[in-house]
Structure 1
């Protein structure tokens, strides 16, 4: 009996690996080469309950405070588990929540438990200072970018008519590009946070093309102010949301290891991948697919082969189980774990990528639709650690759903003569549903 079960699980694993190598990763690689992003940024699913929205704001913001580095390693997700007399706050990160981050998160939580309307501003400043110290690597990156683009944009504004807006902007940009020695890191971040309304909008009006200096400056000012915004939000939410006062522990998910995946050599041809999509499609209208093949030929002409070249660079890809999928998997595997108020929302320090968005939206447990930047990232995989036979079957089913969705999106991209997108994974303005909390300092 044991041998038969093992043999069955082994065959399921073989199918998973075949699905990854011949369908999932080739389609992700093709779609990334074609578009980069599936669509424009999309906010999370909104609740009409103000307490629910405030709790979701808390989860997003607490996760952001724990995402201390620029890049993907420390991207953090958070969720609330309901217990009889208390609640647990769960954290996960793309490459695991380290001991130092867990200690820091617990320090933040202990401070939050003292929150009252009377000490709100003082506590926000205290948590903000703690976050600035812990998030130095990320903040320094954004500060360097702000200084660089503030200098460039200030020089560019010298050639503009000197109206009140230009004069005020150049004054602010001088302070950003040449900060006086007395300006602390906290004050620099607050300066950017305070520019999030009128000044950022003014900066954007001078942007001629996506990705120019004014566009980048607006983006990085917004990002640098995010630490202050997150510190303010977690305190406001703690005062507003009763269930947050009942958080007794922070628990972390043990992150699966990064794994290198290899695309099967026979699946590196863009046209062969499109043939597979055609075979899977519910519609077999030959004229539609002829148009799609012709469009692919235009984008990947025989001599240059830019799409094929980009796909070939993804023959081997290092994959992670992203943080929000780790938490979704933790809850879905246990019959005893419930979300607070049955709100199946998983907060995250960064909006979901294309893969994770589709995973959560297609999951049988009906997780709340997250915010998404829609970036197509081939280096993703589904939760696959410690799988039994049932879990392997679930993974196969999810990969089938995701692969079909990718195929449909590729087909639509080619049908609609769409163009590759250029946008940020983090945002120039909030991509989430508007907060129901008061906009302290916003």
Structure 2
């Protein structure tokens, strides 16, 4: 027994030393944070990864402990386990947030905070370049609840103050815009929203906290589809919401009232994915930029919308706020959906599928018919590319096949 006691004391000492070292060095690089995270291996016999805990019931030491369970870290599986806490803490550290919640999908990460801060009679402002399922939730469930929804131009900046009403409770942002990649002056919008008494939320899935930290720009709640780059392998669905100290309690309370949390096996996969997210993003970024520059030089491409391209109309806004870019961008093909379908159907390596952020490249034809303000060009069809981890030369060859099919069709029609 004395030996065991000595070992436990030594383990506790190592854990304390690691905690102290981390507190003294908050300037660690992003890949270091991803590789190590806030989890301390010495808290569990030195194992480098957090345990996967499958749990519903938690036993209490006494009836008194049950009565005062709010002071305990774990009380029921739905409220979280050491597995979920490890990922929550890792994301909070990356985001600079007070607290993070996990939910079963990226869409749930959008709907839960909206439900947390909106009720009947409230007014909600939503950027018009928002993710389509977000718009569907706002136009459907929120309007049925009696919430007034209004959409605004992504370039509005501080001018959003003119749209604020006494009952405006939420301003919902997405940067860059879904599919068309318009940039926003996030700090200007957030300052005006805060002055008007509204809570701000931003879908930060495109950039991840490695390339943009919304809370540092005045956002109250940073939203992610962990399905994308944190998961990274197209084999799970999960979302997260990272909150400031002022919004965390209301967010967590709503999550528990609805009864949503993430499953431990999926949490483990995201924890594992985080370890390599930094190096994967570097590859996604480099490959996407190379393809964007290549497409920009082609006469059969009308426009390329990639925020990191100097030619992009919002490049200055991007460069001022973001430290990097991911593997998702769009380019405009002349013609309508029929021409876009000819191009897409000729692709063999690049898959036709929704989602993004995984190891494989994907392409979809963009539908902007639901936009009210940020409608995009009148002529042409945007193709959204998710650039995966394949060799760029192979992706170029596949895209060349698409352009060749399009040219052959045009020649036949002529």
Give TM-score, length-normalised by structure 1.
0.21
- Report 1 or 2 for greater relative contact order, CA contacts < 8 Å, sequence distance ≥ 6: 1
Q: Which structure is higher in helix share?
A: 1
Give TM-score, length-normalised by structure 2.
0.22
